[in-house]
Structure 1
Amino acid sequence: MTQVNPLITDVITQTQRATLTKGPIQASGQGKAYQSVAQSTAIAVQDATDALRIVTTVASTAAGVALAQILATGNAKQYQPALDTAKAMVTTAIEGFAAVGEAAGKVLSSFPSGPSS
């Protein structure tokens, strides 16, 4: 029977203690959970950015059509509500974007990133 060098046995024992005990496993799990939450909040902000971009495109198109009609007909009073609605759409979308960004930041900052948090 071949005897194993005690240094090798010690290295294996130390490695097991460093990687397979509660502390490192818990820290790794908490880190993964934090990364998942961070990714989810980033996706929420990206989605809000896309929504803002879409609303801005629709509002710009509507405003362009309304302005074209004002220029063609000279009737600003008839098309002013379309301009006001387009502006309100963008304002609401900006507020929504800001709310999502603020909420995402709060969620992420309040989520523990590891054992020391």
Structure 2
Amino acid sequence: MSEPTKVNAQIIDVINQTQTATMSPQVVTTSGAGKAYQAVAQSTAMAVQDATDTLRNVSTIATTAIGVAMAQLLATGDPKYVTALTQAQGMMTSAANDFTSIGTAASTVLNSFPSS
């Protein structure tokens, strides 16, 4: 049977130093906290992006409804179209308020999450 090959002490030292540098409890904790913070930051950014898309879409719908209602009001003089105008404006106000609430909540979550 052959004798086991001896490993150079410097190689063993490098392996031990690498393990200490990458796997020590402090390094793992710090790295994990950083990854968690990045995940929360990305999630809050996505929530704000979604709220922005919703605001844009509601704006498009409301603007279209306002244009149609205004055209009908001018053409017919029927006051029922004033109700449509008011409701479309209310949609925009509600969407803007939702956007503000989501942005504020996202900011609060991110700022209260520990970064390290």
Comparing 85-94 with 1-10, greater Cα deviation is found at 1-10
**Are residue 69 (structure 1) and residue 72 (structure 2) matched?**
yes
Deviations 1:6-58 (A, max 9, x none): 33322221111111111111111111111111111111111111111121111
Whole-Å separation in 1 of the counterparts to 2:76 and 2:90 = 24
Partner of 1:49: 52
Partner SS state of residue 85, structure 2? helix
The normalised TM-score by structure 2 is: 0.88
RMSD over aligned Cα atoms: 1.5
Partner residue of 2:26 out of 4, 23, 28: 23
The normalised TM-score by structure 1 is: 0.87
Please, which runs of 5 or more residues in structure 1 have no aligned partner?
none
Partner of 1:106: 108
Please state how far the C-alpha of 1:97 moved relative to its aligned partner.
0.2
Q: In the alignment, residue 35 of structure 1 is paired with which amino acid? A: Q
Please, which runs of 5 or more residues in structure 2 have no aligned partner?
none
How many residue pairs match? The answer is: 113
